[in-house]
Amino acid sequence: MPAEEKVKGPASYFPSIEKQYGQPISHWLTLVGERKEMKHMEIVAWLKSEHGLGHGHANAIVAHALASRAQTKA
């Protein structure tokens, strides 16, 4: 069996985000997906102020969500 590949980039934060905030990543990605009119840092600020996420965790979620959104548009 090949060794498991280590998760890199924003997704590397996901296990600690789920543990710390008690919600699955799908919950956070859905919330970010509903903020189509907002820019990256606006969404980060919103997650921090409205949901109490730390900056790094909020940024990781938004970066992942927006990268996925960009891939579906391409």
26-43 pLDDT, tens digit each: 999 999 999 999 999 999
The identity of residue 6, as a single letter, is: K
> Which DSSP state fits 2?
P
Number of residues assigned to the chain: 74
pTM (global) more than 0.75: yes
The identity of residue 7, as a single letter, is: V
List the structure tokens of 70.
Answer: 């960009």
| Secondary element (H or E) of residue 24 | none
What does each of the 74 residues of the chain score in pLDDT, given as a tens digit? 455 678 888 899 999 999 999 999 999 999 999 999 999 999 999 999 999 999 999 999 999 999 987 777 76
